[in-house]
């Protein structure tokens, strides 16, 4: 008997076994399975009591309608009208396309023109995210999100104590991202450690920041690169680490 035949047989017998009302009837079914499959009685009971999990069909992800091929024509339109916000840009897209086509300054492929006219303000923001000037933002780019819990639990310091400025070993640590104007893709980051008293500074650069890299780099600098021992030291770090 093939494996597929055994599975089909067990499906039929399992239904009979579960419909049995007395132990005697169940015992007859178990003996039948034991004989037909040539297995031990305990194995037959286990197979008859086994739950069958039906595999669900994999849900396909939604097909992307507004791809990154629209970035180039959208950026051109955005720059022509003076780089406004998405809510001001959307009503101007259709008229701007008409003018650009009139002077043969824009080319479309496929249904790009239709998609540009139909896209929402949210889609415009998503496609132009990497193109916007970060100097016009209230804050610079950050590799992490702020945590409301940490913000309430960790006190903010604005100065250093007299002990920290007199004795070496009290260091300040933060991380600098070399990502340009966008956080997308891979980029280098520099771990910067500064001793408050002596102003001795050490740096370590690495690709793709991880917890292990930061902790390992700090301990390596502390034991090998700083010219003084850390007998009693404190560490002040940027929350973006």
Per-residue pLDDT of the chain (241 residues; tens, 9 = 90+): 778 888 888 888 888 888 888 888 889 888 888 888 888 888 888 888 887 666 666 666 677 788 888 999 999 999 999 888 888 899 999 999 999 999 888 999 889 999 999 999 999 998 988 777 655 555 566 666 666 666 666 666 656 677 667 777 778 888 888 887 777 788 888 888 888 778 888 888 888 888 888 888 888 887 777 766 655 566 666 645 5
Residues 220 and 157 in one domain: yes
Count of structural domains, the chain = 3
Which of 67, 92, 66, 60 is closest to 79 using CA atoms? Answer: 92
Q: Is residue 141 part of a domain?
A: no
Q: Is residue 58 part of a domain?
A: no
The structure's pTM equals 0.39
Calculate the dihedral angle through the C-alpha atoms of 198, 204, 208, 211, rounding to the nearest 10 degrees: -60
In a domain, 100, yes or no: yes
- Among 137, 207, 219, smallest CA distance to 175 is for 207
Is 109 within the bounds of a domain? yes
- Residue by residue, what is the 3-state secondary structure of 37-67? HCCCHHHHHHHHHCCCCCCCCCCCCCCCCCC
Kindly state whether residues 171 and 122 are assigned to the same domain. no
112: containing domain: 68-132
Among 101, 132, 163, residue at a domain's last position: 132
C-alpha span between 185 and 129 (Å, rounded): 13
CA distance linking residue 125 with residue 183, whole number of Å: 15
């Amino acid at each position: 008997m093939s494996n597929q035949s055994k599975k089909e047989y067990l499906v039929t017998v399992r239904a009979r076994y579960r419909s049995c009302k007395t132990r005697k009837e169940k015992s007859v079914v178990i003996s039948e399975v034991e004989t037909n499959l040539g297995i031990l009685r305990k194995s037959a009971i286990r197979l008859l009591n086994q739950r069958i999990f039906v595999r669900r069909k994999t849900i396909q992800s939604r097909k992307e309608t507004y791809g990154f091929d629209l970035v180039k024509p959208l950026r051109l339109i955005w720059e022509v009208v003076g780089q406004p916000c998405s809510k001001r840009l959307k009503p101007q897209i259709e008229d701007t396309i008409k003018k650009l086509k009139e002077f043969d300054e824009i080319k479309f492929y496929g249904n790009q023109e239709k998609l540009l006219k139909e896209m929402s303000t949210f889609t415009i923001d998503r496609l132009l995210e990497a193109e916007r000037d970060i100097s016009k933002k209230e804050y610079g780019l950050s590799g992490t999100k702020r945590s409301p819990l940490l913000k309430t639990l960790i006190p903010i310091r604005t100065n250093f104590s007299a002990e920290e400025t007199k004795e070496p070993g009290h260091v300040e640590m933060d991380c600098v991202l070399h990502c340009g104007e966008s956080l997308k893709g891979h980029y280098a980051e520099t771990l910067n450690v500064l001793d408050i008293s002596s102003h001795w500074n050490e740096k370590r650069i690495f690709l793709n920041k991880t917890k292990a890299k930061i902790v390992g780099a700090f301990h390596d600098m502390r034991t090998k690169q700083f010219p003084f021992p850390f007998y009693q030291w404190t560490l002040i770090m940027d929350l973006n680490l």
